[in-house]
Structure 1
Amino acid sequence: MRTLIICIDRDNDLGEKAGVLSPVIGRAANLDAAIRLAYSDPEDSDINTIFGGINVYDKLIAEKNDVEIVSIAGNKDVGILADKRISEQFERILEQLKPERAILVSDGAEDESVLPIIQSRIKVDSVRRVIVKQHENLESTYYIIKQAFNDPKISHTIFMPLGLAFMIYAISLYANRPEIALIAITGAIGIYMLFRGTGLDDALSNFHASMMNSLQGGKITFIMYLAAIVLSLIGTVQGGIELWNYYNEGIWSGILILLMGYINASTWWYVIAGVLISAGKIIDMRLSNENVGRHWSHPFFIIASGILFWSGSTYILVIREAVTRYPVLEDGQQFLFSTVLLAIFIATIGARLSIRSSREGISKY
């Protein structure tokens, strides 16, 4: 009982591109036709159709079946003319090989449209569609999506807000408060978008990378980073407590006073954290015999900035009667003027040290 494996090329790429006349009968002839078509147009999907047919042929031969393989081509003007040509070739093949069953191999719905022609003349046991994984549009789209998901920035941008929204919604359902889900999700995504839009995510990534480099390099900066994190958390809590106290005591008259109270209570914690990080970098550079250069100015500038924030917030709190007195001088203008001069003096010292260090480093070379 002979089974015929039929590979369909409805638009006659075999003839138009490879110069192969159809029908192509036999494994060797089909293999040669597929190679010639691949040489002329490596992207043609009919190559895969023929190789798919050969694969089926080899499997059935290995199982001791009586099979033969043929490739039938139509016409480049796909339509009635192509189907008529396929029908004529198939009639000649039936007379020559006298098969009893058939397996149709194609690369898509277009080639499978000739299935009624085949079925009207012989019993078709199976239709195998060869999916071309390297199809240009499909492959490129899959590659782009895969690369996008593998890109940390893109995946974080897509998955973080979605994951946050789903998590908040799940928590609200568990707490039997689904009505607050929309408010919570909107607020959380808004905070996330501000976080991304202001570049804080990049700053956090850089900070994490610096910590890992310090740890792996055995640098003192790693300990300084940890200390800075602890002090920053303390400063944040301290500022939050002060803000809450102002709010509860009713001595504030707007958001500005709350903000100034937070800054006034937390500034020096942040300043000390920044100075520790700068000091750690300077120590590591000195231990590595590197020129410190401009880094000398960083701790001085941080301290000067802290003085300005602290004195400015103190001045505003006093004049708005949220605080009773100035910590150093009784006169507000003298207090503000003195602290500004002190900040400028400290910054000047840092600038002179950094310039001198940079010049010493250049002179060594």
Structure 2
Amino acid sequence: MTTLVICVDRSGAIGRKTSVPMPVAGWEAVRSLVTDVGLADPEDASVNCILEALRVARELRDEREESAVAVVSAAGDSRVGADRSVAAQIDALVERYEPSSAIVVVDSADDERVMPIVESRLPVDGVDRVVVRQARDLESTYYLLKQFLGDEELRSTVLVPLGIALLLLPALLFRFSAAVALAGVAGLLGAALLYKGLAIDEYVADVPERVREALYAGQVSVVTYVVAAGLSLVGGFFGVLAATETGGQPDPVEAMLFVYAAVPWLAGAALTAALGRLLDELIRDEGIRSHVLNLPFVAVAVGLVVRGFAGYFLEQERVIDQFTFAGVTVAPGQRLAAFIVAGIVVSIVGVKVASDVGADALEDVIDRDGTEGRRGEGR
């Protein structure tokens, strides 16, 4: 069982500089060859490649494994001719040593392209890439760039947004100022990275299939989701109107006005969507999951708390009048506390209802399984 250690020179530099017939095989012949190559061109990386092949062969010999070392250098005026000469030399080595496997030693990405030629003739146990220390950073960068360009997903994630940004930059500079153009390009790149990083693309890709399944299955949630989207638009519309009607207000106050006016509609949208999910669970006759049952209560509780805080800030700024109940004016802090307590109470009721219904459903499942088991034993 012989392992053939092959130093591959696809460029043909070794053969041209030494005028030695290829392939060169055998320990002493390869040692003599590395001296000739070093004397002809001490700066040639092929010297390190040949020495690495000798080192690998010596390690195999020290491990009591039979090995043979050889150097293959291409010859020919074209790439096809060079590769065919490499294939002929490898055939000669296989015929001479009848190896069971091979270890290929290369010093560049170009030499590594002959790997299919070697693998078509004998099994390859490993590839040893020799990188000279002075050029290690450059070679490592080249290999990383080559691997990056070979990954289709990485190309589409990074190169496509970058290319679009570079195409838009001249147009934006022509139409707007440099600051606006750079801000637009940065925003585009940021949105593209977030779109991919948060896996929004996977969710968007699944949306048509989910909608198709929901339509075919006749789910009530399809209608409630449309109603929820409409309520959200109405809430956003009234929020913008509320924020723009009072001119001259600071930006934080306008933001609170938007939240105060939009929250009831947004909470209603969330409640509508949650009720649709709940109705789908009831129609399936498979029991209601506790988190689905708790969704409507969570929507109402969050809406109460958010509106309470928004109203508190607006009352403090005298933007809205203080709440009056039965002729008694309620202080802003008391009003906020009432909204918080109401939200907590609603959430507790939701947790209690969800836990009770979940426990009842679990008992029904256990009873049904026990009844079916007894019937099976009776049969």
The TM tier, using the shorter chain, reads 0.5 to 0.7
Question: What is the alpha-carbon distance in structure 2 between the residues aligned to residue 80 and residue 161 of structure 1?
Answer: 51
Normalised by the size of structure 2, how large is the TM-score? 0.55
Q: Which residue of 2 aligns with 1:356?
A: 356
Distance 1:333 1:125, change over 3 A: closer
Deviation at 1:351, TM superposition (A): 1.4
Deviation at 1:174, TM superposition (A): 5.2
Q: Which residue of 1 aligns with 2:323?
A: 326
Distance 1:211 1:312, change over 3 A: farther
Q: Deviations over 1:199-247 (max 9, x none)?
A: 8x3478557746742532433333433443443344334434433444x
Is 1:250 matched up with 2:253?
no
Q: Gapped runs of 5+ residues in structure 2? A: 12-20, 39-70, 84-109, 116-126, 130-138, 367-379
Q: Which residue of 1 aligns with 2:24?
A: 73
Question: What is the alpha-carbon distance in structure 1 between the residues aligned to residue 235 and residue 201 of structure 2?
Answer: 18
Which has the higher mean CA deviation after the structures are superposed, 217-226 or 304-313? 217-226
Q: Which residue of 2 aligns with 1:54?
A: none
Deviation at 1:45, TM superposition (A): 7.1
Within 5 Å, which residues of 2 pair with 1:49-88? Answer: 72-73=23-24, 75-77=29-31, 78-80=33-35
Q: Which among 310, 314, 317 is matched to residue 314 of structure 2?
A: 317
Runs of 4+ that moved beyond 6 A: 124-127, 137-140
Distance 1:173 1:242, change over 3 A: same
Q: Is the 8 A contact 1:76 1:82 kept in 2?
A: no
**How many equivalent residue pairs?**
263
Which has the higher mean CA deviation after the structures are superposed, 265-274 or 170-179? 170-179
Which has the greater radius of gyration? 1
Within 5 Å, which residues of 2 pair with 1:89-168? Answer: 111=73, 128-130=81-83, 132-133=112-113, 135=115, 144-145=147-148, 148-150=151-153, 155-156=156-157, 158-159=158-159, 162=162, 165-166=165-166, 168=168
Distance 1:265 1:162, change over 3 A: farther
Q: Deviations over 1:37-62 (max 9, x none)?
A: xxx44x8576999xxxxxxxxxxxxx
Deviation at 1:166, TM superposition (A): 3.2
Q: Which residue of 2 aligns with 1:283?
A: 279
Distance 1:362 1:45, change over 3 A: farther
Q: Which residue of 2 aligns with 1:259?
A: 255
Compute the RMSD of aligned alpha carbons.
4.4
Deviation at 1:330, TM superposition (A): 3.6
Q: Is the 8 A contact 2:312 2:336 kept in 1?
A: yes
Question: What is the alpha-carbon distance in structure 2 between the residues aligned to residue 134 and residue 297 of structure 1?
Answer: 63
Percent identical pairs in the alignment equals 15
Distance 1:360 1:206, change over 3 A: farther
Q: Gapped runs of 5+ residues in structure 1? A: 1-16, 19-39, 50-69, 84-108, 116-123
